[in-house]
Amino acid sequence: MQIPRRTPSVAGLVTWLRARDPDLAATRRAGRTAIVMPALFALCTQVLHSPTMASFAAFGSFSMLLMVDFSGPMVERLRAQAALAAAWAALICVGTLVAQATWLAVVTTLLIAFVILFSGVVSSVLAGSATSLLLAFVLPVSTPVPLSLLPERLAGTGLAATAALPAVWLLWPRPVADPLIEPATRVCRAAAAHLRADASGLDRQATATDSTRRRAAAEETAEASTDLRNTFNATPYRPTGLSTASRTLVRLVDELNWLSTILEDRPAYTDAPPACDPTARRVRLTAADVLDHTANVLTDMRVVLGPLRSATAELREAMQTMEKTSTVRLPADHSVGDSPEEIYGFIATLDLSFRARELGFAVLQIADNVATAAAASQRHWLDRLLVREPGALTEPLAVARERATAHLGLRSVWLHNSLRGAVGLGIAVLIANLTGVQHSFWVLLGTLSVLRSNALNTGQNALRAVLGTVAGSIIGAGLLQLIGHHGTVLWFLLPLAILVAGIAPSAISFAAGQAAFTVTLVVMFNLGQDPDWHIVLLRMQDIALGCAVSLLVALFFWPRGAATAVHKALADAYVDGARYLAEAVDYALGQGGQTDPARPRGEPLEHNRKAAASARRLDDAFRTYLDERGAKPLSLTDMTALVAGVAALRLAADAVVSLWRGVDPGRETDGRTEAHRAIRGAASRVTEWYYAFAGGLDHGAPVPEPVQLHPEAAALLVESVRTDHADALGRPGATAVRIIWTGDHVDVARRLQPGLALAAKGSAIR
């Protein structure tokens, strides 16, 4: 018997769909909704005979199944679905109450819409639920009814929520794996192979085979890092929440990209590395082992964490040993000449050890984050229920407050979008009430659907929305004309229309989705009665009015769009990152310079928080720019490089702070040696460049030339290390090593500059 095979047309359709709908995410949501929504609508209209319940059950299921797609373990998804249902009930109550008075409806719309939209900065779960939550308020506030109908509205919503929970659980559930896990695991394994390839040539003369292996490992690491960054940027919202696991996994992206940057980086002042400290090679090999264990944990968060923790403890011990043994690498027993070659040769003596320390610090950050995320995943069910987070240094409410505060500025893209969305919906409510539009709900829905980040793009989306509505109206009217009085046929068309409406925006276009949604509404509003094609004319009128409102609001609030906002956010991020680096150097070298030596200066936590907040604002602006439809006026490659540079600058400052953390300030010098002055001078030149660079990004000024090496300052550093930081026998101590390594961290920030300058010229707004 011959087994039937799929026809070429079906295979081609599946291939086409997968190419436009990665992982079939939209298809999955649309399929669930096509099953649940018609069933609830039939139950409410044909069995319970309640049009009010039918409307809220239909739109509730549409919202809870098609507009949201929560990720993570199934327990967390169901909890998020339950919270969404509770929020829907609360918003329906508020919307029904305030709809009785126009002024109250407008004011409340402004406030609630802003809170819903702005709360997305706290968590990607809230950001992804914003449209669904707005729909829960728009539906009742745009259709005033007596309060006696509120129970029916809540009953319809309750039916939708009750059906949504098992549908999410049982009907083609979304894969549990986080999309960042696979590329992050690949980076860890590639970086581990890279470290081993580097270490293999340090204890002997490198061969051609060694060079080939190192080059292949470097290419694999760079490719894996690029894939991770692209996956991270592919989502419209920063994929983070308030939980420890979600926060640590998002930090992991920056840290893995930083690790890749370190592996690619090479100082320009030495052609060949000097003799290697054996402990530096051990640090590299141990760091590779840690990365392999980290990859194992990322692959399965339920594995025992003992091997990873043992490996990280061994890496810390190796780094401490290297810090002590590195002092013998300094040729302090003989003089250093005045030539740049001799000066930088002295500094390069510690280069391999410094690079091992830099790599080790990055790997420890990565491993600690992954271990914390895994511990959160392995919590007892009671800890999950009570939201007890392992290793949470900050309470979730404090994190939420910090994130929200970071966006309370006029240069925040998120604040702009939240204000525009709120004002747009408020104006739509006012116009719908004053003009007496019969279906004012669709005015608000049209306003919400086409608001985007700039006026030009909003105009394009408004045109697409109107064209899609016209096309959908023509199709719907044609269907009604063909069906005539055979209204039962509409019940068979409704699931198909919902399925197409859910898939079309992702697989085809925004206009196609609008057309399919219009057909769905035409079918739904004609169920149970004689088909009437006149409703399509009202729908066209309503959506056109909503589009006009959104275009007006966009022109008023943001005439230039996200491209300019990205440059401003980049400028702010580089300024705050440079300030953090300057404060980190002051913290490292200025412990003896304060007025009260008994009270040593604390870590620059405030500057760290400001730099992190600026980086989050930049991330939001960049995602808004990526999410805009149409041609991109800026080079995405250059923009991605500039965004990654912000993280590299901030993490370099973190490394400086960690280098001096726990050092007894009483045992250090008074901060007035030539070595201290040399490091501060280098840090000042580097940070001043970043300030000027930020000014160029913000105001279109010429990009400054990157800072060059200063042999004179390096000579002062070398002489001071050999004299001021040596013991009675003339041997340099741990402080000398830390000072040179601090200078190396500053030089890492300097070596970022040529690439950033080139990227800035390629991403200039034209």
Q: What is the DSSP string of 309-368?
A: HHHHHHHHHHHHHHHHHGGGGS-TTS---SSHHHHHHHHHTTHHHHHHHHHHHHHHHHHH
Say which residue, 84 or 379, is predicted with more confidence.
84
Which strand (E) or helix (H) includes residue 566? helix 562-589
Q: Which one, of 682, 750, 751, lies nearest residue 716 by Cα?
A: 682
**Averaged pLDDT for residues 131-143:** 87
pLDDT above 60 for 39: yes
Say which residue, 425 or 269, is predicted with more confidence.
425
User: CA 627 to CA 127: how far, in whole Å?
Assistant: 14
Please check whether residue 357 is in contact with residue 281, taking contact to mean a CB–CB distance below 8 angstroms. Answer: no
Q: What is the CA radius of gyration of the chain?
A: 30
Going from the C-alpha of 678 to that of each of 455, 527, 660, 716, the distances in angstroms are: 50, 80, 18, 7
What is the reported pLDDT for 561? 59
User: CA 736 to CA 718: how far, in whole Å?
Assistant: 10
User: CA 151 to CA 53: how far, in whole Å?
Assistant: 9
Three-class secondary structure of residue 726 per DSSP: strand
| Tally of CB atoms within 10 A around 560 | 12
* Amino acid letter, residue 145: V
Q: What is the pLDDT of residues 601-627, one digit of tens each?
A: 578 888 888 888 888 888 878 877 776
User: CA 139 to CA 150: how far, in whole Å?
Assistant: 12
Q: Which one, of 281, 121, 222, lies nearest residue 616 by Cα?
A: 121
**Averaged pLDDT for residues 134-144:** 87
What is the reported pLDDT for 3? 46
- Joined together, the tokens standing for residue 585 give 């150097």
What is the reported pLDDT for 296? 92
| Tally of CB atoms within 10 A around 530 | 9
**Averaged pLDDT for residues 240-257:** 68
Q: What is the pLDDT of residues 277-286, one digit of tens each?
A: 677 788 889 9
Please check whether residue 30 is in contact with residue 499, taking contact to mean a CB–CB distance below 8 angstroms. Answer: yes
Three-class secondary structure of residue 16 per DSSP: helix
Please check whether residue 204 is in contact with residue 248, taking contact to mean a CB–CB distance below 8 angstroms. Answer: no
Q: Which one, of 345, 355, 191, 348, lies nearest residue 260 by Cα?
A: 191
Please check whether residue 181 is in contact with residue 71, taking contact to mean a CB–CB distance below 8 angstroms. Answer: no
| Tally of CB atoms within 10 A around 243 | 22
What is the reported pLDDT for 736? 72
What is the reported pLDDT for 716? 58
What is the reported pLDDT for 404? 74
pLDDT above 90 for 691: yes
- pLDDT band (50, 70, 90) for residue 114: very high
- Joined together, the tokens standing for residue 47 give 């069995």
Residue 52 burial (C-beta neighbours within 10 Å; 0-12, 13-18, 19+): middle
The pTM of the full predicted model, rounded to 2 decimals, is: 0.75
- Joined together, the tokens standing for residue 17 give 């769909």
- pLDDT band (50, 70, 90) for residue 667: very low
Percent share of the chain, pLDDT over 70: 70
What is the reported pLDDT for 97? 94
What residues have CB less than 8 Å from 701, skipping those under 6 apart? 692, 695
Distance of CA 96 to the CA centre of its chain: 36
Looking only at Cα atoms, what is the longest distance across the chain?
Answer: 105
Go through the domains of the chain in sequence order and give each one's CATH number: 7-176 (no CATH), 181-399 (1.20.58.220), 430-559 (no CATH), 562-762 (1.20.58)
Q: Which one, of 278, 271, 269, lies nearest residue 328 by Cα?
A: 278
Tokens 């309750």: give the residue: 158
Please check whether residue 649 is in contact with residue 578, taking contact to mean a CB–CB distance below 8 angstroms. Answer: yes
Most confident region among 139-148, 257-266, 430-439, 624-633 by mean pLDDT:
139-148
What is the reported pLDDT for 597? 44
Q: Which one, of 351, 368, 374, 358, lies nearest residue 260 by Cα?
A: 358
- Joined together, the tokens standing for residue 306 give 């003992």
What is the reported pLDDT for 695? 87
What is the reported pLDDT for 73? 73
pLDDT above 90 for 151: yes
Partners of 732 in the β-ladder: 726
Tokens 């079309």: give the residue: 504
What is the reported pLDDT for 312? 93
- pLDDT band (50, 70, 90) for residue 670: very low
pLDDT above 50 for 294: yes
Q: What is the mean pLDDT of the chain?
A: 77
The count of C-alpha atoms lying within 13 angstroms of the C-alpha of 496, restricted to the half-sphere facing its C-beta, is 6
What residues have CB less than 8 Å from 287, skipping those under 6 apart? 192, 195, 315, 356, 359, 360, 363
